[in-house]
Each structure stands twice: as structure tokens, then as C-alpha cells.
Amino acid sequence: MSFVQSGQTVTPQGAGASRRDRTFTGQNYQGGNVSYRIASRDLFSLPALTFDNDKNRPIAGTRWQSGAGTATCLGVILDADGNEVFPFYPLTAAKGANASSTNEEIGGGANDGIVVNYFSSVTRASIPAGDYTLLTFALDLTQQGLIATGSIQIRGLEAGGTTTTPVVTIPNNPTPTPLEPEGVQHTLSYSEGVEGWPSFYSYNPDYMIGMNNFFYSYSGGNLYRHNTNELRNNFYGQQFNSTVTSVINELPLVSKIFKTINLQSDEPWSVSLNTDLQNDGFISNEWFELKEGSWYAAAKNTTQSPTVISNFASRAINGIGRADSFSGLPSTRQFQFISNPSFSIGSILSIGDFLYYNNETANTPELAGRVTQININLQQNINNIVIDASINGATVPTVSNPYVMGVKNNTAESYGLLGHFCRFVLENTGPSPTELFAVQAEIMKSYP
């Protein structure tokens, strides 16, 4: 018995087949009234074989991998003169008219073996020894997302062989598994003026062409002409946003506070900001004010409850001190401070701020809740902070007398973003045309 896998160089065993050559081609093969695209071409030297019309005969089959639908493997085996010996394609319009269809699985367990699509539409008792060509066609897939492999096999008997052992098997996989790109797809444009690739577009066409000073694209079988209507960023009936990404990197070795953004534009854009020290900076387009022809707004940090560790370098964080105790239900939890001698809560903390405590097990700050009351009357021994500890992210302190700190509401009170550089993304929504000329920022040196 010998086994030959197309695409490999093997040493024949006994009188088995030997591989001579393998090439891929994009040419077509005329099979009956249909022209098939040739996916691969294999040349083999085969011994004289007989067939018992059971499992030992040529078959075409597939091995399913994923997706929904059906897959059919097609091809043909030719002799040295180019005559068809075993065709594996419908000889008439009806696929099963001259071919024996079956769902029988040859070898392996479930989904492991080759599932026969159909046997050759021409049956032969034997073939003589000689050179043969195996042409495999592209898989016939009923669904675009279906992934399967195809195989055409010659299973026959040499002289003295048994009826249970296939002598020659030539599996073939003419269609590789498609590579599906990850993430959102974009179209990248090239500018001859700047000799570079300046823009990413949201549309992902099937085909593009320029003709008569117009740009055309195909999507889903439909033809579109670009730059012909008033809607901007609307491709194939779907509306997208415009984004511009850049970085503020003045004095990169100096720690700075990025305070404001100033847009030289005919309308405000939303802005997302982050630095090497702080994240989640944001400016809504509704927060901008038109001043002397420019749109001006303060950079705000939107991280609220709980805030991230990197934001504790901000000036919005103010230490209060160690509480004497805490008690009460989550909605009205009180943190008591000593009143004799008096402990000063201070005037920086305000209602609406967030109260954090130090987790002394992990030595990290954690959210206790939002401040709802600040009660100070030292003559009556009242000195406490009341919080709402039922908000999302709030936890219970790990000790009875935790160290607490206040975090200002970053959206209501802007302290800017701390860092050495700031990466910002401008975003404009809607189908109307807009122009952006320049972006400025107010920056001050940080003095820790």
C-alpha cells in the first residue's frame, strides 16, 4: 500500500503512486456546459488499479470546519492524453443526474473523516498504470462565511490487494481557509501632494475605480459614485463620524497640566484626551464657548466612581485624615471625627464630592461613597461626614478608623490633566460639512 499527499515529496512504497509535479493556476476548465476555475493541478504516476464500486473507488468529498451551509468539492482526473477518466462535476444541469450522491463519511469520527459529496459520474472497473493529472476546482460554497476543505481521492486495489484497504489515496485542499481581518475595516487613501497616506475612510468597498474625474465603488453588488451629495461621511446608507488624532508634546521632559483646548473651527468638536499619567479626559462639544472667533473649553476628567489609581496624582485629590469611626446604613453612612480636641475636616470638601478610604490591606484607595452632608458643630460634639455608600463601586472600609480623602467632581470642577504629553482625539458627528484650521491648548508647568 502507498499513500501520497499532494504538495509533499514522498517515496513510493511498492507499486504505489508517485508524485511528479504540482502547480496552481487561475485558468478555467470546460466541463460539460460549465467553465470551472482550476484551483490546483497535480501530476501523478499510478499503478494499475481496479475498483469494486464500494468504498474502493474515486470519490470527491469535503471536511466541514465552521459556518452554516454546504460545500461541494469539484474536479476531474485526466490521463496522459488529456482524456477524462473520472469527472467530479455534474454532467447535466441537475447535479445528481449522472452522479451518485451520498453523505457517507469515510474514515475518522464525527467531522473527522471525509464526507463524500458524490462518487465519480463515470464508473470504471479499472485503470492502467501510467501518468494522470488531477485538476481540482474551487469549492462550491452555499454561504460566504462557511469554512471547509475539499478532497478528491483515488481509492483502488492493486494486484493482490484486499477489498478493505485503499491502495492509493490522493487528498487535496484547493481552497485555503480564508483569513478574516480583525477589528473595524477602513479604506486608506494616498495623497500625491504630500506623498503619503493621510486619511482613513470608514467605507469598505468590494471594488473601486476612478473614471471621467469621478470616483466609483461597489458594495453588495450596487454601484456608488462618491462626492456627489450634501451628506458627509455617509457611505452606503450608513452615517459615520469624523475623527482627527494628534498629540501635544511641547517640552516633553517637563510635567505639565493641560488646562484648556481652543479650536479654530467653524463649529465645536468633542474631544477625548489622555496623558502618560492620567486617562479619561473629555470635552463635550456642548461645553465649548465661542470667544473671539474661537471655541474654548476646559479639559475635564470624566473618571468618577471609582476613579483609577493614576488620577490620584491630580490636584482634585485632597487628604482629610483618619476618621475616629464609621457607622450607619449605606445610604446614610457617617464617618465620625473627634471634636475634642477638634479635628478639622477643612473647607475644600463639598457636597457631591466622592469620599475614598485607604485599603490598608492592599494599600490602595477605594471608593467609600458620595458626600451628601458635612456636619460641623464642635460645641455640640458634632464633627462628621455623611455619604451615600450605595452607589456603584462603593465598598466598606477594611478597618474601623480608616484614613479618608476627598475627590472633587471632575466634571463640575476642572483641574486639567497631568502629564508630560497629551494625546487627543477630535470627533465631529453629523452629515454637515465643517472645517478645522488649528488646535491650541493652555498648558502650565506642574510644581509638585
Q: Can you give the pLDDT at residue 375?
A: 93
pLDDT per residue as tens, the chain (448 positions): 222 223 222 222 333 455 555 454 557 888 777 778 787 788 878 888 888 766 677 877 777 666 667 777 788 888 988 898 888 877 643 333 334 444 455 544 444 455 666 677 677 888 888 888 888 887 776 666 667 777 777 777 876 655 444 444 444 444 444 455 667 778 888 888 888 888 888 888 888 888 888 999 988 888 999 888 888 888 888 888 888 999 998 888 888 888 899 999 999 999 999 888 877 788 889 889 999 889 999 887 765 555 656 556 555 577 899 999 999 999 999 999 988 888 888 888 889 888 999 988 888 888 999 999 999 998 888 999 999 999 988 999 989 999 998 887 666 556 678 889 999 999 998 788 888 999 999 988 887 6
Comparing CA positions, the residue from 59, 64, 72 lying closest to residue 152 is: 59
DSSP 342: B
Q: Residue 410's pLDDT is what? A: 62
DSSP 138: P
Can you tell me the distance from the alpha carbon of 312 to that of 443, in angstroms, rounded to the nearest whole number? 20
DSSP string, 210-258: EETTEEEEEETTEEEESS-SS-SSEETTEE--EEEEEEE-SSTTS-EEE
DSSP letter at 285 equals G
Classified as helix, coil or strand, 271 is strand
* Residue extents of the structural domains in the chain: 18-153, 187-239, 244-303+413-445, 317-407
**Measured on CA atoms in the order 386, 389, 390, 391, is the torsion positive or negative?**
positive
The answer to whether 271 touches 248, Cβ cutoff 8 Å, is: no
| Calpha distance 96→378 (Å, rounded) | 96
In the numeric block, which cell numbers belong to residue 154?
483515488
What number of residues does the chain have?
448
Residue 111: per-residue pLDDT: 43
The residue type of 27 is Q
What is the Cα–Cα distance from 199 to 244, expressed in whole angstroms?
Answer: 9
How is the beta sheet containing 214-219 ordered, strand by strand? 207-211, 214-219, 222-225
Report the pLDDT value the prediction gives residue 110, as an integer from 0 to 100.
Answer: 41
Residues contacting 340, CB < 8 A, separation 6+ = 378, 381
Q: In sequence order, what E strands does 18-141 have? A: 18-23, 28-31, 34-46, 49-50, 59-66, 71-72, 75-78, 84-88, 105-106, 114-119, 126-127, 130-137, 140-141
End-to-end CA distance of the chain: 81
The partner residues of 208 in beta bridges, in order of sequence, read 217
**What is the Cα–Cα distance from 74 to 189, expressed in whole angstroms?**
39
How many Cα neighbours within 13 Å face the side chain of 171? 17
- Sheet of 105-106, strand order: 105-106, 114-119, 59-66, 147-153
In order of 38, 41, 115, the CA distances from 120 in angstroms are: 18, 18, 14
Question: Cβ distance 170 to 163 under 8 Å?
Answer: no
- Nearest 10 degrees: Cα torsion 191, 195, 200, 205: 60
213: its cell numbers: 474625474
CA distances from 279 to 228, 276, 362, 416, 446 (A): 40, 8, 23, 11, 17
Specify whether the CB–CB gap between 56 and 155 falls below 8 A.
yes
